[in-house]
Each structure stands twice: as structure tokens, then as C-alpha cells.
A and B are shown apart, each in its own frame.
Chain A
Amino acid sequence: MNSLCLQRLQEERKKWRKDHPFGFWAKPTKKEDGSMNLQKWEAGIPGREGTIWKDAVYPITIEYPDDYPSKPPKVKFPAGFYHPNIYPSGTVCLSILNEDQDWKPAITMKQILLGVQDLLTSPNPDSPAQEPAWRAYAKNVQEYEKKVLEQARRYTK
């Protein structure tokens, strides 16, 4: 990891501990020797109240590349996560996480997690990433909502 990346990740950690939205959590993972791995984080995103995503905290991993913050981190839900904009591998398809689209080095972890939380409740039909959820979202809302609620039970708080 280059020093710029390390410095920025340490800053991100400090910022997150000082100020993070309620209900979210995020922590760096541990390496095998027990030391902290700042390049890979685990985090939880609460479903927004008043939506079918509520009552659950959805687990994600955030992996920062060596050339972060020039390049965006990769955010992943567990494989098979049900959402129109989440790839079957769990990778999140979001413009602020795309180097060619809206990624900017100034984007913070807090903004990313809030962006992903927003994506859960407001899928982008123009940027489909998996077929089952996208099809259900477009054609059969009842089935879509049922699957989301089932998934919420799996990740209940």
C-alpha cells in the first residue's frame, strides 16, 4: 500500500469514528497476524425506516485498491444479494463507485455507505446488474417486495 493510500485510509477511519450515521457500523478487518487491514473493511448498512428494507442491517465489504483514492473502492454485498443494481457476485453497481463515472477522490466512506443505503431503496432501473431482481422490480413488484422482505429476515438486526 502506498503512503498516500495509507494516510487517507487512516484519515477515513478517524473521520468515521468521529462522525458516522446512526445504525451504520464499519471496521477494518484483521490480517492473519491480528494486525489491522485498513484496505479491507467490513460494514453494516441499515435498511431505511419506512421501507421494505428496514429491520435489517446488510453486511458489506469495502476493498480499497493500492491506488486509492485515485481509484474507487470495491463495495460488495454477500454473493447472491437480491437487488437490481447488485451483481451476482455481490459487487455494487453505483456511479460514485465507478472510476469512469462519478467517483471523486474526495468521496468519503460515510458518503459511500449512505449512497449504498439510498441505492437499496431507490434502485436505478437504467443500470441493471442482476437479472432476477431487475426483472421482478420491472415486471412483478409483488414478487420483488416479497424477496426483499425474505432477505431482510436473513439479515435482521
Chain B
Amino acid sequence: MDIQEVVRLINSLYSGSSSTILHSVQQKLQKIQRSEEGAQLADELLKLENVSDQVKYFGALTYRVQLTTRSSTEEQLWTLYQGNLIHLTRIIVIFLSNPEGSHGLNITIRKLMSNLALVFTNINRLQDSTRAIPTWPNPINTLVRLLSLCGQHNVNRWYVGNSEVSSVIESAITAEVPYQELIRFIDSDPWLNKFILAFTRIIVGDMLKYQSKGTYLSHVYEVVHDHIYVSTMALINYNLEAKMLPQDATTNKYSAELFECVREWISYISEAKKHSPHGNMDLSEAFENLIRLMCTNLDNQFPYSRDILEILSDVFSFRSSVVTQEILQELESIFLGVSYVVSSQAKKTTSLGSHDWMLSYMNELVTNALFDDLRQVSDCFVDFLQICMSGICNRLFTQLHASNTDQSQQYVKFLLQLTNFPLVPVLEESYSVKMVDFWYDLCESYVQLPSESLLPDSHDLAIEIFSQVVQIYLPKASLINKQKLLQADLDGESKVHEFDDFRRAIEVLMPMLWCVLGNSKLSNQLILGIIQKQQDGSLDLFQIECMAFMLENIIVDINLPETPSICKVIYDSDFFHNLLFLLKAGCIQSPTDISSQKLKLEYVRTATNLLSVTSKYFHVDQKDLGHVIETLFNCLENSRKFNDTASSEEIEILLIKTITILCKNCREQLLPFLEIFIQVTQAMMYHSSPASNFIREKLVRSIAYIIQASAKQGAEIQGKYIDNMVTMIGSSVHDSDRDNNLFLLTSISELGSGLIQEYDDPSVTQYFDADPLNLRPKVLNIVESRCKKYPTDPAFIEVGCLILGKTLSIDDSDPHFLKFSMSEIMNFALARANTCNLSTGLPYLVYLLERLITHYKATLTRAQFDYIFSNFFIQHYETAIASDPDLIESMIGFINKTMDARPALVVNSSYWDAFILPQFLRYLRAKEHFTISAVTKFWTKTVKLKQQSRDGGLASAKLITSIGDQLVATTMYGLLHTHRSEVFYYAEIIRALVANHPLNTKAWLTAVLPSLCDNPTAHSRLLASLFLTRGSIAANDTIRGWWLQCNNLPRMD
């Protein structure tokens, strides 16, 4: 090994050479690092002078590689252990001689520390009394002792191989360093203090990483608890008490390293608690010191508050188990100004900090517009409240804690004041944003309290508190605040999104508050907010929107016609008038700028959502219904004039959805408006109308709902309305535009869907069955003509099939104008099959045929089934189906549907033996997912036929006798060669075979398995387990195990 050559290679590694050169250099260096000479190389590199920092770092890295690859023997480990200690000591001493010029050595020092952390963990992981290397109790003491001794010697004599140094190290490994010596040591040089803090941080930080990888560390926790913890707490507390003087804050060299060390130890202890009893380590003194520092106020300078709040916030969020009750009470009095002090706390003579600090700090942040820092305080504060939730709830509302009423009131008052922080939420303050969760949890906790534990006045208190919460949040959630955010011209939209999230959180909070406040204190108050006028008689748009937004999420769970208390408030007010005012402001007022366009969309969304959820109110009072419908149509017609294209498209969808919901829920109440609906639809049907086809189709569906209710006026009247609609739709399109023609068919389909009805007047059914107005021929004519015009366009076949099959899922006794006969449907389907492109058209025809079979299953004959199967599948098999996996899947799917409806039709078909069995057997070897999924279902159904009927049993027995062996062989072949995700499908067939024909199946499996693959162990295990397992999970697991073994794949569980 030429050390100079290695140095040259290392330097070239960091010189930014091309990737090919780098790769080659890396390969060479890695080879040396892993070799027997690796430890020697590391030592050589680390002791070289006048080389770059990278070279030294590479030396430390080489030690790491050796530790992970060549430390299995004690000798190897001892060499690496010593080497790391010697060089760490040497390099720190060299660093101390010229700290300013040695900055680059930091990275090497930390790497060597990390290596020693690994050595520490490995040595202590297993207790082994026969080992020559002693237990390493405390690396901190070792380093302190070595650095003290090295300072007395000449650093040049501190090298690997020096027996004198070696014996120093041996004694240092178990050295005890008394407290005073440790303190003197870190006082002697600020850098030594920093390095010792860094070392203890790295040890526990690395342990956390090993723990997360599942390494067994039980004994290491014990060693840390008994030794390093003691030294570290001494270090941390001494630093916090003596070295963090407020006047030195700006020049303090320790704070970052110290806080980092504290944070890592908190993480370590919180994790260690979960894994070992030795994880219980008290941090109270450190927390007390931290809190005292946090509360330092030097003429409105708060040097450590931010850092410590950040640490506490992390503790409250994720590691609350490390804080004691006493510390929480101390913080409670600081954060809230009130604490329910327990007796032990009362004995304390000094307080760590005061609530005045909190107020001064927040005041300073507000005055200087330090909104990010303010957000951090709110994060910490609310996280703190969350962990105290059950205590707070109990103190406020139960008899479990003897509490003082004045204190409770002061406590709540402060929380409410914070929630009502007088700045713009999200933009300037986060208290209200964060407190939403707190109030939700408090309300939830209160609701879940057992009634016998409640204080006599707790319900009144809860109503008082949560009513105030509502009053605070309504203006906070107003869109006026979103407007401020939009106008603030911020980079990106993250703040706007955050505000939307805030509103959504309040929207979720409201139904929770409703559990306490009920309709009288919440729903009705929100309605009153919607109808309230301002002093000058005008309406406050923002207020209406906000109230409506909150109300929607409450009303949605209420059955309005059965809630007279709400209906009365609506009846006596301008509720709908004001709601429509909001809607019109969104739809038919011009925006003044980009932000108002965004807000307009919110108005429409809120207004239409609330209109939708209150639609059933019109069951009890229809006086505003006409106005509502008229306004919705007016907005639909004109919104494009006042909004940009993207917004108006969205507005139109919101409007038409609301119209459809109103029509669906209030069909009888809207009957008087049917003519208006028809006129509007007529106007929109014209090609010149800007309305999209989607809007027009949904309008037709809406009208259909109302026409459905007209049946009560007599079948003739309903028939006439339908006839008018069909005529109108049929005559609306004369051009050759493909989309318009498709829209025409879709509209008829929508009309048919809206008219599906359960109606117990047989005269209506008789009327439509007789069809005096020739509705069916008219519709059939329209459908046929469009399908002939576009014979290969699958969209026309799809909608045509939807129309023809519309009533195949309803009872024959229910009336409908689209009840086509079997021959009409068959003729339509045959005509399409003969002219369409089967690869895209057949799946829709199969959908129609499946519904047809299901509907007529009781009367369908074998000949009729054979006719269908022959004309749609057999005739096209060679030319189209056989080469298209999708069509194969459609064909198998059709057979499966028929098997579900009436298996005898398939089993007795003339194609059963001639086509279905041989072909479907072949498909078990298919590679396409859908074919496998469908065909395995077929075979599972077929094998299970035995369980369904006597005929089925006979057919199944006959089948098993004739092709059982082939079925087993092909299934196992298909299983062996399939993907992992499809094993389950084949397993289903095997399970069915084992359950229904166990003896035969076992014999066939025994015969076929050896011919599939040479894995007798797997086969015998399968045979042994399969016939013993009970339940699908165990059987699937057994089969999957066989598949994995035969494919030489490992089990992942």
C-alpha cells in the first residue's frame, strides 16, 4: 500500500472529476478500506500532517468500514477501539492548539466520536464475562481522562503502537471522573466543553438509530442509565446554570451545541422508556433550568426563549412522557397565569418563571411583527394544552378536583382571550388556528364525561364557554380574512390554503359544539346571523357567507321537516332571501379584481351547498321555492356574463347540481313549476345556447324527477309530459355534430333514469305497458337512427345499451316508458353486433345481454340462451374474440353472470361440452389478469355447483369424472406460472375442489405435482397441509407457500 498514492486518490475523489473516474477511484479505495490493511491505512491517514481535511476524514471513515466489516474478533475490535481513541484524543488536542485554523477537523472529530459510539454499543450489547476487553461504562469519563493526560504529554508521542499510550488507554476505559474534575475540565476550555457535549449527544443519537433498526440494546440502556446519564446531566445542568448568562447570550459559544444535546437526550430517554426499565431517567432539573432560561427577560430581550420553546413544543407533541406533573404545573402557571397548584408544589419557595414573561414576550413579538415567532409560541402553548386535556376538562366540569371558581373563570378567560387574538388569523396570528383543535378536544372530552361526575353548574358553564368559542370563531372564519390574505400578495398560495384548512377545521368543530349547544344555541343563532341586517339596513355578505358555511355542516345531519324549532325560525325570516342574495353576489355580479373572483366562487359554493341541505324544508313550506328556482335559473343563464370562463364552468356545475338535488328531494312541491322547467330546458336545448351538454343532461334528469311525481295526476298526464320531452329532445338536434347527437341519446337515458319509480297504482303500469303514445317506438327510432349514423362509435352503443336496458333492473309491476321487449332488445343488440367494431362495442352489448339474462332468467329457454351465445360469441370467436383478451374476459363474464342467474342454462347448453369446457380449461393457462380473474371464477362456480341443486350436483359429478384430472393439472400449471398477485384466484378453485371432491383431488394432485416441477418437499407439504387446513386464510397461505417454494422465492413474512 503506497500511502501517497492513496492520498492522491482521496484528493481526486473530492476534486469533482467525471463520474466514470470517480467510480473507478471509489472502487479502488473501497477495496483497500475493506482489506486487512484497512486499520493500518486509517491510522496512517489520521496521523499524516499537512494533508487536507478530507484525507483525515477518510481515515476516520476507514475505521468505520473496518468496524462494520472486520471487528468480529476481540483483537480486531481492540485495535480499532484503541486507534479511534488515540486519534480522537490527538486530533482534539491539535484542534485546541489552534481552534480558528482547525475548523475543518470538526468533521473528523465527530466521525471518530460516532465510531466510538458504535464501539460502545457493541461492547456493551452483550454481557460476556469471558471477554478480554472490559465493559466500557462511560466514554465521557474516558475521553475526559485521555484529554487531560494527553495535554500533559507530548502529542507527538500519542500514536498507535506506543505501549505507554496503550496502557493509559486501558486504565482510562474504566476511569471514574468525579464531578468536580469534570466541571474543572469543561471550564478549562470552551471547546472542550463543546466536544464533550457533542460526544454524549452522538452516543445517544446513534443509539436511537440502532434501536430503530431493531438492534437488541437492553444492556446498553442499563449502562447508559448507570453511567453516561449521570455525567451528562451534570454537564447539561452545569452549562444551563453557569454558562448561559443572559448578558453573554449573543456571544455564547455553547448554546447551539447545548440545546442540541438536550434535544437528543430528550429523544433518547423518551424512546428508551419504551424499550427498557432503564429508560426511566429524570430530566426535571434540566427542565427547571430550561424554563428558568426561557423566562429570561433582559429589557425586553429574550435571548433563549425561542430555542427553548422549540424544545418544549417538540416535547409536548411527541415526548410528553419525559415531563413530570410538577413541571407541567409550573408551565401551566407560566403559560396561563393560573395553576391548580398541588400541595408539593406549594412548598416550593421559588418560581422558575412567571406569566408576566409570557405576556411580555408575546407583546414584544406582536409589536415587532415577528409573526413566525408568535406562531411558534402558539404551537408550543396549544401542544401543551393538548397533553393536559383530560386534567383541564376534569377541573372545569367535574367534582374530581376541588377547584376554585375564580381560578376556573380566570383560566377559561385566558384561553378565550388567546383564541380571540386580535390579529388576522393565519396571516398574523396562529393562536386561533391552533386552538380549534383544543376546543374540539375539550368539547369532546366534556361530552364523554359521565353525568354523575359533573358539577351541578357544569352544563351552564359548558354552554357559556362554547357559545363564546362560536362567537370568536365566526368572524375569524369570515372570508374577509381570506380577502386580506389574497390581497397581501404573498408568494405562492400556501397561506391561502392554510386559511382554507382553518375554515374547514372550524366547520368540523361546529357539529361537535352543537352536541353541547343544540339547535337553540347554535343552529338557530347561525340562521339569525344569516338574516341579520346591518344598522343601515344593508346585508353583510361576509357574515351571511360565514354563517351559511358553518350552518351547512350542522343542517346536513338534521331532518328538517321533523325539526319544527328550526323550520319556525326559517319561516319567520328572510333566510332564503339572504341566501339567494349571497348566491347572486357570486353569480351575477362583476368581480372587481382577481381576489374577488375567487371569493365569488366561495359564495356560490356556500350558498348552493346550504340550499341543497335545506331542500327538504320545502316539504313544510313552499313560499320561497319559486323564488329559489327562479334565481337558480337566472344565475345559470347569466353567470357567464359576470365570471371568467373557468369560474363560470364551475359555478354552472354547482348550480345544476343544486337544481337536481332540489328536484329530487322536492318533486311534488315542484310540480307547479314543471312548465317553467320545460321552457328553460327548451331554451337550453337549442344549439345556440352556451350551456354545456352536461348541464343540459342534468336538467333533463331534474325534470324527470318532477314528471315522476306527476303520476299522481294520472298516467295520461305523465305520459304526455314524457312524450313532450322525448319530442323536444328528438327534435333538438338536426346537425351532424357527433357530440350533439350523443347528447341527444344521453338526455333520453337521463330522462329514463329520473323516471324509475316505485308506484303502487297498477293503472299507471298498464298505461305504460300499453304505450298509447308510442313512446317506445319513438325512442327506439331515435336510438336506432343515431346508432346507425355512428355504427362503430362505442359511445353510441354504450348509451344505446343503457337506454334499452334501463328497465331490466326494475320489477315488471313498476311503470316505465322504456320497458322494451326481449325481441326489441335482441334486435337492437344483434344489429349493433353486426355493424360495430367488436373490440370496443362488444363489452357494452355484453352488459346489456347480462341484464337481459338476469331479468328473464325464469322464462328463458335453453334454445334462447344458445341463440344468444351463438350470435354474439361463437360466430365472432375466431374472427375477433379469440385474439382479444378483453373480449375473452367479456365472454367468460357473460357465462359467469348466467351461472349466477340460472346455471342450468349454461350447463345444459349445447355449447357446454363442445366449446365452454375445453376453451375455458385452456384459459386457465392464460397470462392476462382479467382472463385469469374471470375464468377462475367460472371454474370455482362450476366445481361448487354440487352445493346448489340436485341437477347441479349431477352436472358437477359428471364433470369431475370426465375432466377432473385435467382441471387439477391445468389449474396447478396455471398457478405455478402465474404472478404473485394472481395466486389467490387459482387458490379459490383448489379450495373448491378440496371441499367438494377431496379424495379425487388428492389423487390427482399427487399424480400431477411431480410432473410440474422437481420440488418434492414443497409438494408433500402442500398435500399434507391442504387437506387439514380449515378456513380460506390458512388454505391460501398453504397454496401461496407452495407457489413461493416452487418458484424459489423467499417468504416475506
Contacts and interface: CB of A to CB of B under 8 A. Distances in A.
B650 A156 contact: yes
Nearest to B983: A100
Given A18-B437, A23-B497, A55-B650, A143 B794 contact: yes
Interface in B685-704: 694
Contact of A22 (B497, B505, B508): B497
B616 interface: no
B484 interface: no
A139 B887 CA distance: 13
Nearest to B507: A25
B629 to A, nearest CB: 21
B605 interface: yes
B622 to A, nearest CB: 28
A135 interface: yes
B886 A131 contact: yes
A134 B795 CA distance: 16
A156 B657 contact: yes
Nearest to A134: B930
Contacts of B657: 156
A23 B653 CA distance: 19
A132 interface: yes
B437 A128 contact: no
Contacts of B1052: 100
A98 B515 CA distance: 38
A153 B651 CA distance: 11
Interface in B625-669: 650, 653-654, 657
Given A27-B508, A143-B795, A156 B653 contact: yes
Nearest to B657: A156
Contacts of B980: 100
A140 B795 CA distance: 12
A86 to B, nearest CB: 14
A150 B750 CA distance: 14
Contact of B843 (A18, A132, A150): A132
A150 B657 CA distance: 13
A156 B930 contact: no
A135 B843 contact: yes
B43 interface: no
Contacts of A150: 694
A143 B929 CA distance: 22
- Central interface residue in A17, A23, A101, A131, by most chain B CB within 10 Å: A131
A155 B182 CA distance: 67
Nearest to A99: B1053
A25 B504 CA distance: 8
A17 B981 contact: no
A140 B792 CA distance: 14
B500 A153 contact: no
Contacts of B264: none
A131 B653 contact: no
B694 A140 contact: no
Contacts of B1040: 100
A17 B889 contact: no
Contacts of A156: 650, 653-654, 657
Nearest to B512: A36
Contacts of B505: 17
Interface string A20-56: 1011010100000010000000000000000000010
Interface in B785-800: 794-795
Interface string B489-505: 00000100110110011
Contacts of B497: 22-23
Interface string B874-906: 000000000000100110010000000000000
Contacts of A89: none
B840 interface: yes
- Central interface residue in A22, A34, A98, A140, by most chain B CB within 10 Å: A22
Interface string A134-146: 1100011001000
Nearest to A154: B657
A128 B653 contact: no
A134 B886 CA distance: 10
Contact of B930 (A17, A128, A140): A128
A121 interface: no
Interface in A34-90: 34, 55
Given A22-B501, A135-B843, A157 B605 contact: yes
A127 interface: yes
Contacts of B794: 140, 143
Contacts of A101: 981
Nearest to A100: B980
A153 B437 contact: no
A127 B981 CA distance: 9
Nearest to B1040: A100
- Central interface residue in A27, A98, A101, A153, by most chain B CB within 10 Å: A153
A25 B317 CA distance: 21
A131 B501 contact: no
Interface string B387-413: 000000000000000000000000000
A106 B23 CA distance: 35
B393 to A, nearest CB: 16
B597 to A, nearest CB: 15
Given A27-B508, A128-B930, A131-B930, A153 B886 contact: no
Contacts of B494: 22
A127 to B, nearest CB: 7
Contacts of A55: 650
Contact of A128 (B501, B650, B893, B929): B929
Contacts of B930: 128, 131, 134
Contact of A17 (B437, B515, B839): B437
Contacts of B498: 22
Contacts of B843: 131-132, 135
A100 B794 CA distance: 38
A98 B794 CA distance: 35
B840 A140 contact: yes
B316 to A, nearest CB: 11
Interface in B499-533: 500-501, 504-505, 508, 515
A18 B433 CA distance: 11
B846 to A, nearest CB: 10
Contacts of B653: 153, 156
A34 B516 CA distance: 13
B598 to A, nearest CB: 13
A114 B604 CA distance: 28
Contacts of B893: 131
Contacts of A135: 843, 886
- Central interface residue in B437, B501, B795, B890, by most chain A CB within 10 Å: B501
B800 to A, nearest CB: 16
A143 B799 CA distance: 14
Interface in B918-934: 929-930
B501 A153 contact: no
B281 to A, nearest CB: 24
Contacts of A18: 317, 437
Nearest to B692: A153
A157 B497 CA distance: 14
Contacts of A132: 843
A65 to B, nearest CB: 12
Contacts of A100: 980-981, 1040, 1052
Contacts of A143: 794-795
Contacts of A22: 494, 497-498, 500-501
Nearest to B496: A22
The 7 closest A-B pairs by CB, nearest first: A22-B497, A156-B653, A135-B886, A128-B929, A17-B437, A153-B653, A131-B930
25 contacts: A17-B437, A22-B494, A23-B497, A23-B500, A55-B650, A100-B980, A100-B1040, A100-B1052, A131-B843, A131-B889, A131-B893, A131-B930, A134-B930, A135-B886, A139-B840, A140-B794, A140-B840, A143-B794, A143-B795, A150-B694, A153-B653, A153-B694, A156-B653, A156-B654, A156-B657
Given A18-B437, A157-B605, 9 more contacts: A17-B437, A34-B515, A100-B980, A100-B981, A128-B929, A131-B889, A140-B794, A150-B694, A156-B654
